[in-house]
Amino acid sequence: MKEVMMKSMRLSLIAGLLLMLAPAMASASGGGALKHTEITFDNETLRKGLTVFTDVCMGCHAAKYLTYRNLMAYPELGLSREEVDELRGDKGLLEGLITELSPEDATESYGKVPPDLSVITRARRGGGNYIYSLLTGYESDPHGKVEDGNYNAYYPGNRIAMPDPLAWFEHDESETADLEEQARAVSSFLTFIGDPHQLERQRIGIWVMGFLVLLTFVLWLLKREVWKDVKH
Ligand code: HEC
């Protein structure tokens, strides 16, 4: 009997360790050689990210699953009706954020249609860190092959059809921090709109973990009580 118990205890210990390691293993496989930035969903960051998105990215990209009503509804953004009205102009509240650039013009100018960014952080390995790396990853081609300024260290194949969208921050060395902050903000914003309910899930997750710990403790007490009088 004792042997069986020892065995099952060892097994549950291993299972516990695996459960604890699972999230670490999952994130390790998604990291790769990307730069790492702090993706945050605080009001200041998300608002800055929204501004970068509407002022810069929307020149070419849409986020068609993000409606103006969504923008108004997220408490993390905290936008007033007036602010949303100003953003949408004559667009309807239920319309998504659409770019003025037509697919035809995009193809003519860049050779490619810029992808919709509504859920891009979920479609790319590395999510927000990938977007951040991409936006701060323009440099001159070390092999001198890509000469039009579209060499990007983090894009597969290294030649991206998107011209450096935050380029003007780089004219002056002192603006680098600003470039990084803009990139961080818009990466956070895109991560947020890609999965706005993750905050809620995280909160629920903490309660679930707490509950499981408590349950384990209660079961352990119960086991002790049941086995108390059994002679080993
Ligand atoms: C001048 C037009 C233009 C602007 C402005 C622009 N993009 Fe792009 N973007 C493109 C094009 C074109 C592609 C397609 C690139 C390719 O597949 O080679 C692209 C692709 C992307 C991709 C997908 C890369 C991949 O892995 O396939 C992301 C992410 C992206 N852009 C983010 C942004 C963000 C964020 C902004 C705003 C800061 C922005 N873009 C501004 C034209 C633009």
Our measurement of the distance from residue 182's CA atom to the centroid of its chain's CA atoms, rounded to an integer in Å, reads 15
How many other C-beta atoms can be found within 10 angstroms of the C-beta atom of residue 182? 22
Q: Nearest Cα to 100, choosing from 67, 66, 60?
A: 60
Residue nearest to atom 13 of ligand 1 (CA): 114
Q: What was the pLDDT predicted at 27?
A: 45
Q: Is the CB of 62 under 6 A from ligand 1?
A: no
Q: Which residues contact 62 (CB under 8 A, 6 or more apart)?
A: 96, 97, 98, 99, 116, 117, 118
From the CA of 187, give the closest atom in ligand 1. Answer: 35
Q: What was the pLDDT predicted at 202?
A: 83
Q: How far apart are CA 38 and CA 53, in angstroms?
A: 18
Residue at 56: amino acid letter: V
Q: What is the mean pLDDT of the chain?
A: 88
Task: Among 23-27, 72-76, 189-193, name the one with the lowest average pLDDT.
Answer: 23-27
From the CA of 155, give the closest atom in ligand 1. Answer: 26
From the CA of 106, give the closest atom in ligand 1. Answer: 12
Give me ligand 1 centre to Cα 143, in Å: 23
From the CA of 110, give the closest atom in ligand 1. Answer: 12
Q: What was the pLDDT predicted at 203?
A: 84
Q: How far apart are CA 184 and CA 35, in angstroms?
A: 11
State the first-to-last Cα distance of the chain, in angstroms, to the nearest integer. 8
Task: Among 7-16, 91-100, 177-186, name the one with the lowest average pLDDT.
Answer: 7-16
pLDDT at 152 over 50: yes
Residue of 53, 56, 58, 60 best suited for mutating to test ligand 1, as the one with most atoms within 8 Å of CB: 60
Residue at 152: amino acid letter: N
Give me ligand 1 centre to Cα 21, in Å: 35
Give me ligand 1 centre to Cα 114, in Å: 6
Q: How far apart are CA 33 and CA 204, in angstroms?
A: 31
Share of the chain above pLDDT 90, in %: 69
Share of the chain above pLDDT 70, in %: 84
Our measurement of the distance from residue 63's CA atom to the centroid of its chain's CA atoms, rounded to an integer in Å, reads 15
Q: Is the CB of 113 under 6 A from ligand 1?
A: no
Taking residues 127-151, what's their average pLDDT?
Answer: 92
Dihedral sign computed on CA atoms, order 44, 163, 135, 128: positive
**In this predicted model, what pLDDT tens digit does every residue of 3-37 receive, in sequence order?**
666 766 776 676 667 677 655 554 444 334 899 99
139-157 in b/e form (b: 16+ CB < 10 A) is: eebeeeebeeebbbbbbee
From the CA of 113, give the closest atom in ligand 1. Answer: 12
Residue nearest to atom 29 of ligand 1 (CA): 131
Q: What was the pLDDT predicted at 231?
A: 76
Q: Is the CB of 161 under 6 A from ligand 1?
A: yes
How many other C-beta atoms can be found within 10 angstroms of the C-beta atom of residue 191? 24
pLDDT at 198 over 70: yes
